[in-house]
Amino acid sequence: MGEACKLSIPYRCFNVSARRAVHLPRQATGLPPASATHAGIDLPAQGKWLCRLKFRQINHLQNSAQVKHIIGAKPPTHPASPAAHPAPQVVRLQAVDANSAGQRLDNFLLRELKGVPKTHVYRIIRSGEVRVNKGRASADTRLAEGDLVRVPPVRVSDRIEEKAAHPAPAREFPVLLDDDAVLAIDKPAGVAVHGGSGVSFGVIEQLRQARPQARFLELVHRLDRETSGILLIAKKRSALTHLQAQFRERETGKTYLALGVGAWQANKKVIDTPLHKYLQQDGERRVRTTTADDPDGMRSITLVKLRQRLPARPEAGLPEFSLLEVTIKTGRTHQIRVHLASQGCPIAGDEKYGDFELNRRLQRHGLKRMYLHAWRLQFTHPASSERIELLAPLPPDLACFFPLS
DSSP letter (8 states) at residue 138: -
Question: Which pairs from 189-197 meet CB under 8 Å and 24+ separation?
Answer: 189/225, 189/226, 189/227, 189/228, 189/369, 189/370, 189/395, 189/397, 190/225, 190/226, 190/369, 191/225, 192/225, 193/219, 193/222, 193/223, 193/225, 193/231, 194/219, 194/222, 195/168
- The catalytic position among 224, 282, 355, 397 is 224
Q: Are 134 and 270 in contact (CB under 8 A)?
A: no
Separation between Cα atoms, residue 219 and residue 231, nearest integer Å: 8
Separation between Cα atoms, residue 233 and residue 183, nearest integer Å: 5
42 flagged as catalytic: no
Run of H or E residues at 388: strand 387-391
Run of H or E residues at 288: strand 285-289
Q: Are 371 and 231 in contact (CB under 8 A)?
A: no
Q: Are 256 and 323 in contact (CB under 8 A)?
A: no
Separation between Cα atoms, residue 350 and residue 47, nearest integer Å: 79
Handedness of CA 5, 9, 10, 11 (dihedral sign): negative
Separation between Cα atoms, residue 39 and residue 383, nearest integer Å: 94
CB atoms near residue 231 (< 10 Å): 26
Catalytic residues: 224
